[in-house]
Amino acid sequence: MLGFYIFAIKPHKSSVPPTQPMLDQRFKFGLMNGWLNRISKLVKPDFADYGVAMSAVNACVGYNLKRAITGVSPNFTIDYSKVLYSRGKLDLPNNPLIATTTAAKLDYSWLAVTGDTNSKPTDKVTFMVYNTDKDKFVTLQGIVVRSALAYSLQLPPDWSGDNVEAYLSLALANGEPVRKIEPYLMAIVLVMVWFTAQKVMLYNDSTAGQVDQSIWLLVLLAIISFLLIQGLCFWQSKGWYACRAG
């Protein structure tokens, strides 16, 4: 007589609790990730070029985890004076300042960069203000050009008297495309090469032999590898630069 037995195997759960450094790292990651995700529209066009094999926000979180977290366990906080939400090679504004002569209004000003610089008068300026008392943001993306040298940012009236952290960043006038079509075009080209290359060869020369599909696969992988290497070499040549003003 044969008997059949069914055993339910439960996933093994480690009995070792997480260490305090592990808990600290989780808390710091959640703290920074939660804050930066709320301004992800400012992060994505920029840190996307620095996030190899990761999202733009995760690349930005990793950068700021090492530089903008302060405090002693378990009382970690964000050091807003060290936060960087934008990176690149454009020159910073010269001597950026902020005045608060009117309630709930920030008067930004900066000087022109002179000499042989990596900047243009048409560079777009983005402003970001974080209210630490109310835990709210105000962002204006590409609202004015570098050559304006000044901008008055009107905040909500009930922000008057609150503590705020003010930032600005710059981008090229053409900015980052909203939708990148190049990867899709390249994918279409590769698919067309995959299915049509042999037919084109046979059309031109009916005596040409068939090439094994595995050989075409190797050619395709070689092209993809070449494009990846080109992308890694190119990622430094684009981006924004950010600074914290006042």
Chain centre to alpha carbon of residue 234: 16
- Whether the full predicted model's pTM is greater than 0.85, yes or no, is no
Q: Lowest-confidence range among 22-31, 107-116, 199-208, 223-232? A: 199-208
CB 89 within 8 A of CB 239: yes
Query: Which one has a higher pLDDT value, 179 or 123?
Result: 123
pLDDT for the residue numbered 178: 41
Q: Tokens in use for 16?
A: 């070792």
pLDDT for the residue numbered 127: 96
Could you give the percent of the chain with pLDDT greater than 90?
Answer: 43
How far apart are the C-alpha atoms of 87 and 81, rounded to whole Å?
A: 15
pLDDT for the residue numbered 242: 47
pLDDT for the residue numbered 90: 85
- pLDDT one-digit tens code per residue, 166-201: 999 998 887 544 445 556 676 677 667 666 766 666
Write down the mean pLDDT value for the chain.
Answer: 79
Q: Directed axis angle between helix 40-47 and helix 56-65, to 10°?
A: 90
* Beta-bridge mates of residue 244: 167
How far apart are the C-alpha atoms of 131 and 239, rounded to whole Å?
A: 27
Place 145 in a pLDDT band, splitting at 50, 70 and 90: very high
- pLDDT one-digit tens code per residue, 21-68: 999 999 999 999 999 999 988 887 667 566 556 778 888 898 999 999
pLDDT for the residue numbered 125: 94
Query: Which one has a higher pLDDT value, 142 or 241?
Result: 142
Q: Residue 165: is its pLDDT beyond 60?
A: yes
Respond yes or no on whether the N-terminal peptide bond of residue 183 is cis (omega within 30° of 0). Answer: no
